[in-house]
Structure 1
């Protein structure tokens, strides 16, 4: 890489830290802009919801008592695993501690400008610089300008709630909130709660709330009932057709009364700091045009790390960063715009043909292994270990089959291809 090449990284969470480590390793110069006063992104907990002290949206969705829903064995970086400990499913503060350890190991924190909010990213030509980044220094309440050769967008996608528009939603007299603002089950004590959405957070939070609430209904659009054992005060219901002043009417004609509705309906990909000149659009959570879900085809010196979901996150972030840097360092020649567009269209047509909807454009899940292999093959990279995908798939199966007990599972990586479950006397 040419000496003095400047990289902007937006966000000091898992993706931003992992990307910064790889950029520094490649010889680039890095500035990481972080809106909060610490590293860790969504793994940082705060009691606060809504706005922070500067009037900005609080990004973290972390709640009290969260334990990972993936085993720690697949949550570390390829070259820096999470240290061995008693359990596979660990508390959120342990992940935050791991990220701090990672930042210390690779001396990343000194590159972070804390409490710096990115206001605008735009294209400009000043000498050899291409990107103008306008940032608000929050403590000093002043706007600062920076210029960079490359921009990595690493702001995550669990911060801007996506809430459905139900008929008569304004008539409901109880509380309505999104999982983004959930902090503790204590707030649901003796309530009658409707949880909408049966993704990982919906399942998890419904179970947590059932420990304190009078009863919980989980509304989802799966054709078949979810195959797991639930508490006695828990029931499954179909999609909501409309809300009433006291509850909800379902598509099967039944109705129930509630005091609280919790929307676990996901998040919007949101990049309010990108000018229209950046050439990236987001429509129903489909971010385009991107080469391999990360490089901005219209302006390839910008890349997005971490858009795909249902993945081995830190492992994939690291792979995506290495993928982009192969091109940015000149080790591999970037395909032409026409070739990248053709590749994107071909891959997305395959997805649509398999029944994916637009809002699932970046969903991986069972397809994640193919995605990792494609990145590695395309740029001549060392691929991720197949055991990571295998263990992720097994963990997801266990989550769906036994929500109450899956976190008791303990795994051990045997080699690059295989893992084993460690039998614990306490589990039996």
Structure 2
């Protein structure tokens, strides 16, 4: 099979590695990458807004970012340096269109026409593939809610996607909207230079001690010229507001024929959050959120390739839809908002086990979940110090903290 992989970030490299390990089933993949190197959102650049070739800057990495998970469960050796030298990785290549084409003999199966533009040579190419695996990530299109009064606010307004370093906010009063990973991390970094940091969110109070110049507030309700007002009508002066409000899913290269729907941060029709129900040879890696990324990509790719190799027989379209609706309704019953359908958190481990069982693949080592949960508890209770901890994996289900 010929497979096109869109994106050479962590998910794309993982996909390429597994495809290369199955030469009896797959040709070497054709990996299209918009940037000049591998890494996707993990590649730091000082640039924000518009980057090379007049395209938006993809990376959301800031200068001093440190992962909030131990490297032992974050990074795998995917031979990225080797990939850089390989012919199948096409850098500075813009994917313009991915279009399904019905096979004439069957009338039901499809191949895929992928049209790309070489940004350096301005040369357009169309190639045919048996499958397309989308690994374009979901940390590049900021979600910015409208706040009444934002148009009259005289301070700086930006999304965490465009945050790079704390120095420009020295001596300022900064308000951050959202207290998930980026909101918490950036607020702690800003506390070292800013005069005062306000973390606005709708969750429970943060249990960990915070720096003395960081305090919590309710959700931002409206903005004045130099002040912001929260839901409880309290207010603070503000020189800058940073939206740490997440990202939207975007697949602008997909033909309308694909009939992919993105509504309220839910991508459909996807089976198991990754396989297109109408076109099972179109696969999306990394849609899920709040997961342990690298093992998650590994599991999804192994399942996806088992589907493509016919080692996994998918249920009927009706059965796939029913299973997806059941999952959706179950999450709603637990109070999960519709927009969080792809949020996994604790469910990720049973999800991984299910995919690997269906694919007949080796389960993940239990130590990954153990270390993930231990770090989560450390982070909850000690935001200021947990990143200074170090760990060592000693076995499939054992680890130690150094």
TM-score (norm 2): 0.95
Alignment correspondent of 2:212: 232
Alpha-carbon distance, 1:389 to partner:
1.5
- Tell whether the 8 Å contact from 1:17 to 1:108 is kept in structure 2 after alignment: no
Alignment correspondent of 1:91: none
RMSD: 1.6
Alignment correspondent of 2:30: 31
Alignment correspondent of 2:255: 275
Secondary structure (helix, strand or coil) at the match of 1:212 reads coil
> Is 2:13 the partner of 1:17?
yes
Alignment correspondent of 1:131: 112
Alpha-carbon distance, 1:148 to partner:
0.8
Alignment correspondent of 1:206: 187
Alpha-carbon distance, 1:267 to partner:
0.6
Q: Identify the range of structure 1 (198-207 vs 266-275) with the bigger mean alpha-carbon deviation.
A: 266-275
Alignment deviations for residues 317-374 of structure 1 (CA, whole Å, 9 cap, x no partner): 1111110111211223222212211221222222121111111111111111111111
Alignment correspondent of 1:156: 137
Q: What CA distance in whole angstroms lies between the structure 1 residues aligned with 2:294 and 2:189?
A: 26
Change in CA separation of 1:292 and 1:113 when aligned onto 2, cut-off 3 Å: same
Change in CA separation of 1:15 and 1:353 when aligned onto 2, cut-off 3 Å: same
Alignment correspondent of 1:64: 63
What are the within-5 Å matches in structure 2 for residues 202-351 of structure 1?
A: 202-222=183-203, 224-351=204-331
- Tell whether the 8 Å contact from 2:92 to 2:118 is kept in structure 1 after alignment: yes
Alignment correspondent of 1:95: none
Q: What CA distance in whole angstroms lies between the structure 2 residues aligned with 1:176 and 1:68?
A: 25
Q: What CA distance in whole angstroms lies between the structure 2 residues aligned with 1:400 and 1:112?
A: 40
Secondary structure (helix, strand or coil) at the match of 2:99 reads strand
Q: What CA distance in whole angstroms lies between the structure 2 residues aligned with 1:174 and 1:184?
A: 17
Q: What CA distance in whole angstroms lies between the structure 2 residues aligned with 1:125 and 1:135?
A: 20
Q: What CA distance in whole angstroms lies between the structure 2 residues aligned with 1:134 and 1:217?
A: 46
Secondary structure (helix, strand or coil) at the match of 1:367 reads helix
| Residue from 158, 161, 169 that aligns with 1:188 | 169
Alignment correspondent of 2:52: 53
Alpha-carbon distance, 1:107 to partner:
7.7
Change in CA separation of 1:19 and 1:26 when aligned onto 2, cut-off 3 Å: same
Alpha-carbon distance, 1:179 to partner:
0.4
Alignment correspondent of 1:41: 40
- Tell whether the 8 Å contact from 1:279 to 1:299 is kept in structure 2 after alignment: no
Change in CA separation of 1:399 and 1:261 when aligned onto 2, cut-off 3 Å: same
Q: What CA distance in whole angstroms lies between the structure 1 residues aligned with 2:75 and 2:90?
A: 24
Q: What residue ranges of structure 2 are gaps of 5+ in the alignment? A: none
Alpha-carbon distance, 1:419 to partner:
2.1
Secondary structure (helix, strand or coil) at the match of 2:87 reads helix
Alpha-carbon distance, 1:188 to partner:
0.8
Q: What CA distance in whole angstroms lies between the structure 2 residues aligned with 1:205 and 1:364?
A: 23
Q: Give aligned pairs, total.
A: 395
> Is 2:116 the partner of 1:118?
no
> Is 2:4 the partner of 1:8?
yes
> Is 2:356 the partner of 1:376?
yes
Q: What CA distance in whole angstroms lies between the structure 2 residues aligned with 1:51 and 1:12?
A: 20
Secondary structure (helix, strand or coil) at the match of 2:357 reads helix
- Tell whether the 8 Å contact from 2:100 to 2:110 is kept in structure 1 after alignment: no
Secondary structure (helix, strand or coil) at the match of 2:280 reads coil
Q: What CA distance in whole angstroms lies between the structure 1 residues aligned with 2:31 and 2:361?
A: 25
Alignment correspondent of 2:125: 144
> Is 2:357 the partner of 1:365?
no
Q: What CA distance in whole angstroms lies between the structure 2 residues aligned with 1:267 and 1:299?
A: 26
Q: Identify the range of structure 1 (375-384 vs 15-24) with the bigger mean alpha-carbon deviation.
A: 375-384
- Tell whether the 8 Å contact from 1:136 to 1:143 is kept in structure 2 after alignment: yes
Q: Identify the range of structure 1 (133-142 vs 154-163) with the bigger mean alpha-carbon deviation.
A: 133-142
Secondary structure (helix, strand or coil) at the match of 2:98 reads strand
Q: What CA distance in whole angstroms lies between the structure 2 residues aligned with 1:362 and 1:119?
A: 26
Q: What residue ranges of structure 1 are gaps of 5+ in the alignment? A: 81-98, 423-428
Alpha-carbon distance, 1:126 to partner:
6.2
Change in CA separation of 1:195 and 1:109 when aligned onto 2, cut-off 3 Å: farther
Secondary structure (helix, strand or coil) at the match of 1:146 reads strand
Alpha-carbon distance, 1:109 to partner:
3.8
